[in-house]
Amino acid sequence: MTSKPKASSRLEYEISRSRDESNWKKVSDLAEQLNQRSTGFDVLVNFLIGECKLEQFLEENPPIENNIQKAKTGLTEAKRYLQTCISEQGAKLNVMRDAHLLLAKLLYSQGLYDDALSHLNKGGLESLTEKQLSNRIMKVVAESFAIKVQKFLDYQISVTVHKALNSCRGVVSDKELMMASESEIIEGLSKQGVIAACQINIRRGNKIIPTKHVILTFSSSKLPSSITAGYVCSPVKPYTPNPLCCCNCQRFGHSKAACRGKLTCSNYGIAGHSANGCKTDPHGFHCKQDHSSDSKYCPQWKTEKKIQEIKIKHNIAYAEAKKLISQEKNSFILAGS
């Protein structure tokens, strides 16, 4: 409680001193006196009673795991009193913030840890300064920080390697590699950091024709300049994939498996049907020009390709690369205005 009740100065002093001394029986009695002497302080009285009930309960039942069930039933009344302070009137009397902190303490003792953290955040725990606080509330704040630290320590934290940013892909072009399978390439180049290999094939009519180009994935964020296969040293060029376009909604940046959008025709760009059997003239979904939505002639496709190039060049996530492209466009617009 950061402000003093507008009752008699003697009662005011006694409440403050009793709270600092944790004399909760006396605070409870003084709260009743305040309720009888003054009007308009119902919320303040509720705050004091709720605080008393909480602290008296915790003196006999410390907030440990064995007491959680007891706290869930024994603190119902204290919780009800404190919740009445989370109101406009509570804010006017400067007890709403303190009520949040006390509710966090109460909920923590009930094992409701996420709810406790929520009240700590609503109480503005991180923004409090020593000059704003009475001795009593400084103690509550110290307990609140202890709750927050303890909750953090209770979290089960797992660390996983980022699927994309801790590896890189490059293309090598060598006829010698056409003679080896992908598994043989991985085995032969594993000591050079190769963890995956994919041969690039092209389609001609109904035939799939292998090429001399192989996409290699390296277990490093930095692409090597070359690899050595037998007696051959082959240069490694950065591999820039084509933009990922969803075949369901026709938007870029995700696949059909992760799509939440509506089925959209890739030929005409209208939602509600697929391109199968669509006989209308092409009408791009992105630019409204006379080509299909996934056409390489589409201005949006070219922009997405540029995003991929920046993503690969700087080894950053798709969202970051897209943001850089957006900034470049804005800078160009501002320069031309």
pLDDT digits (tens, 9 = 90+) for 252-278: 888 888 898 899 998 888 888 888 888
Structure confidence at residue 191 (pLDDT): 92
| pLDDT beyond 80 at 19 | yes
Lowest mean pLDDT among 69-83, 160-174, 202-216, 225-239: 160-174
| pLDDT beyond 80 at 33 | yes
Question: In whole numbers, what is the pLDDT of the chain averaged over residues?
Answer: 83
* Residue range 47-65: mean pLDDT, rounded: 90
Query: Considering the chain, what percentage of its residues have pLDDT values greater than 70?
Result: 84
Beta strand 194-204 with 207-218 is: antiparallel
Structure confidence at residue 78 (pLDDT): 93
Distances 130 to 17, 47, 50, 95, 249 between C-alpha atoms, Å: 18, 22, 24, 17, 55
Determine the Cα–Cα distance for residues 222 and 81; give it in Å rounded to an integer. Answer: 60
